[in-house]
Amino acid sequence: MNDTDKIRQDFPILQKVIYGKYPLVYLDNAATTQKPRQVVEAMTEEYYNVNANVHRGVHFLSQKATELHEASRETVRRFLNARSTSEIVFTRGTTESINLVASCFGQAFMKEGDEVILSEMEHHSNIVSWQLLQARQGIRLRIVPITDDGRLRMDEYEKLFNERTRIVSITHISNVLGTVNPIEDIIRIAHEHGVPVLIDGAQSTPHTHIDVQKLDCDFFAFSGHKIYGPTGIGVLYGKEQWLDRIPPYMGGGEMIKTVSFERTTFNELPYKFEAGTPDYVASTGLARALDYVSSVGFDCIEAHERDLTAYALQRMSEIEGMNIFGPKDIKEHAAVISFLVSLPLREGRGGSIHHLDMGTLLDRLGIAIRTGHHCAEPLMRRLGIEGTCRASFALYNTHQDIDALVAGIKRVSQMF
């Protein structure tokens, strides 16, 4: 039994038979990953034996739940190599983390005419949150263009900086193209202009080791459910120097020291940004998920997924009419492949198999992929398409999964 076979045993859902006929081939990991039994069992154990609200109670269960919750924060700190747990804010996911920064940083440091730099490949959560600020405060969005093969135009990025630039907010890895952005250069250039950087790490955190001190990013966001953890919890890392200076995102319990009708004093970091009862069971699940990937090791994960991606690119290129979007160099391409399959020209008509048709028919063969615009409509317009099919890989995927995908695409293509 190889290492991948052992890993797959930790994910019972991978044994599922779809429509009573086909073994599950799960290739929708960029949307959400499956959960190992270690994560589910840790959460079940807490609900059954340690369930109580955290930080407020003097009784035994509350103290134990608090210890678990704060131990989870330390696990996240260690995982990201943050300087302090004060820099680790629990949120509901990457989307809330980005909205928190856009709202709070914008309130504190941006006024009408100030600018934020984004890119053409951003997820909607890293566009709409800044557009809301634009509507409230009149800021401007400046957009880094991409090349035809889906790489950032770094020469144009440098030209966007001026005296009104206040922050850069950019994705580490594209959820559509699989492009691995030169994030170290992006941060370095921004800092040369005295501008802080927020990194959307939703698609990078499950696939590569993240060291926020080495990156020197000012903010970093990721979601638990994309790294084998539960839904509804995520993380915002922020340097203390910034978190100290920006106002809270929401008001309520937990984020205060004192309240009167005349004045409220806010709590210390990171609790200033964690209003209300946290999902203290999900934080345990997230910690177990981070422990799980750490035990596998990112050297092994990266090597395995690089092999899968290279194999998939090679096998898929054998399919007639295959059009793959994104960088062709495997060094710049993470474990996400977006594609469309062109139809042969018949009677003057051509085009591609609609992504929804491809995804629906592959599903009938037990193959789970993603279809649509992937919450990246501006990128789709840049590519001149409505949407794509997307296959995305994880540490439990195999060459056999890719072979099944290729066979499925060929079978579907023959129907048109």
pLDDT in tens, 304-316: 999 999 999 999 9
Tell me the C-alpha distance between 112 and 79, whole Å: 38
The average pLDDT across 166-171 equals 98
pLDDT > 80? residue 256: no
pLDDT in tens, 120-141: 999 999 999 999 999 999 999 9
CA distances from 238 to 274, 345, 396 (A): 14, 53, 31
The average pLDDT across 254-262 equals 78
Amino acid at 94: T
Amino acid at 385: I
pLDDT in tens, 59-79: 999 999 999 999 999 999 999
**Is the peptide bond between 270 and the residue preceding it cis, with omega within 30 degrees of 0?**
yes
The average pLDDT across 21-27 equals 97
Tell me the C-alpha distance between 97 and 235, whole Å: 7
**The pLDDT of residue 262:** 79
More confident residue, 260 or 365: 365
Tell me the C-alpha distance between 210 and 81, whole Å: 8
pLDDT in tens, 100-118: 999 999 999 999 999 999 9
More confident residue, 346 or 334: 334
pLDDT > 50? residue 1: no
The average pLDDT across 243-272 equals 84
Write down all domains in the chain, each with its CATH number in brackets.
3-29+297-413 (3.90.1150.10), 50-295 (3.40.640.10)
Q: Which ranges of 200-322 would DSSP assign to H, the alpha helix? A: 212-215, 240-243, 280-296, 298-316
Lookup: tokens for 326: 């994104």
The dihedral through the CA atoms of 139, 144, 150, 154 has a sign that is negative
Tell me the C-alpha distance between 290 and 203, whole Å: 15
pLDDT in tens, 373-392: 999 999 999 999 999 999 99
pLDDT > 60? residue 349: no
**The pLDDT of residue 134:** 97
Is the CB of residue 127 less than 8 Å from the CB of residue 380?
no
Beta strands in 76-214 (DSSP E): 88-91, 115-119, 140-144, 165-171, 197-200
**The pLDDT of residue 108:** 96
Is the CB of residue 389 less than 8 Å from the CB of residue 355?
yes
Backbone angles phi, psi at 48, to 5 degrees: -80, -30
**The pLDDT of residue 8:** 97
Helix 280-296 / helix 60-80 crossing angle, nearest 10 deg: 40
**The pLDDT of residue 346:** 56
The average pLDDT across 358-376 equals 96
**The pLDDT of residue 255:** 73
Residues annotated as catalytic (active site), given as ranges:
375
pLDDT > 80? residue 347: no
CA-closest candidate to residue 95, choices 3, 271, 233 = 233
H/E segment holding residue 389: strand 388-392
